[in-house]
Chains A and B, each alone.
Chain A
C-alpha cells in the first residue's frame, strides 16, 4: 500500500515537473517568435525578455532595451507590432 502511494506521489511530481518544463519551453518559443516578428518589422528591441499574453495571437512584449510592443494580428490578417 505504501509502495503504491509512493509511486503515485512520484508520478504526480514527475507530471508537474514535465508540465512546468513544457510551459517554460512554450514561453521560450513565444519570446523567440515575438523577437523575430519585432525584428522583421525593423523595430528596435534586442530580445524579448517578458511576454504577457492578452489573447490568441495577441501579446505584450517587453524588450531587453526597455521597449514594449503590442504584437497582434489585425483585421486585415497582418502582424502588427505597436510601440507602447
Chain B
C-alpha cells in the first residue's frame, strides 16, 4: 500500500503531455476500452507536487499495457496503407507505459488510516472531520444550485484542507501523507464530478 502510494505519487510528477493517444484510438477501438479502466482523475495528476521519491517510482509499466502490442499488429495486414498506421500504433505503447499509473484511491482505507494514526490527536481528528463535512456540504449545496460559486472556487478550500492535513501528517506519519498526496487528484475527481459525488453521498 505504501509502496503503491509512493509509486503513484512519483508518477504524478510525470507529465502526460507526450501521449498521442487520439491518433491511435481510431485504429484499435476494441483494444483501447480495457486500458481506460483507471479513474479519469489520473490524467490531471501532474498538478500535485511530486515528492522527492518520484524518479525511483517512475519505471513501473502496468501489466495490462504490456499485453497490448500484439493486437494492433494483428490488425495491420488488413489495411492497404498500413505503414503509417502501424507506425502510429507502434508509438502508442511507450506513451501508454509513460502514462501515470492510477492513484491507489481507496477511500475506506484512507479513512481508516486517518482514524487510526497516532500522528494526530483526537480533537484534531474531530476538527478535521468537521472541516471535511463543511467542505462536502459546500459541494452538496453547489450541485443543488443553492451555492453560487464555481468548481474552481471550490478547489481552493479543498487544497487548503489537504495542505492542513499534510502539514499535520508529514512529520509523524509520512507514509499516510504520501498516500494522501497520491490520492489527492482522484479525490478531487470524485468531488468535481456530480455523478460520482452523488454516489459518494449515497454509499
- Indicate with 1 or 0, residue by residue over B106-129, a CB within 8 angstroms of chain A CB atoms: 000000000000001111101110
Interface flag for B154 (CB, 8 Å): no
Stretch at the interface among A6-14, A16-24, A32-40: A32-40
Residues of B near A78 (CB, < 8 A) are 126, 130
B131 touching A33, Cβ below 8 Å:
no
Residues of B near A57 (CB, < 8 A) are 122-123
A79 touching B126, Cβ below 8 Å:
yes
What is the CB-to-nearest-CB distance from B203 to chain A, in angstroms, rounded to a whole number?
22
**What number of residue pairs across chains A and B have CB atoms under 8 A from each other?**
39
Residues of B near A77 (CB, < 8 A) are 126, 130
Residues of B near A32 (CB, < 8 A) are 121
Interface flag for A54 (CB, 8 Å): no
A29 CB contact (under 8 Å) in B121, B126, B130: B121
- Indicate with 1 or 0, residue by residue over B55-99, a CB within 8 angstroms of chain A CB atoms: 000000000000000000000000000000000000000000000
What is the CB-to-nearest-CB distance from A58 to chain B, in angstroms, rounded to a whole number?
10
Bin the interface of chain A by size: 10 to 19
Residues of B near A40 (CB, < 8 A) are 124, 127-128, 131, 164
Residues of B near A30 (CB, < 8 A) are 121
What is the CB-to-nearest-CB distance from A77 to chain B, in angstroms, rounded to a whole number?
7
What is the CB-to-nearest-CB distance from A57 to chain B, in angstroms, rounded to a whole number?
6
What is the CB-to-nearest-CB distance from B154 to chain A, in angstroms, rounded to a whole number?
19
Interface flag for A15 (CB, 8 Å): no
14 contacts between A and B (CB under 8 A): A32-B121, A36-B124, A37-B121, A37-B124, A40-B124, A40-B164, A57-B122, A57-B123, A71-B123, A73-B126, A78-B126, A79-B123, A79-B126, A79-B127
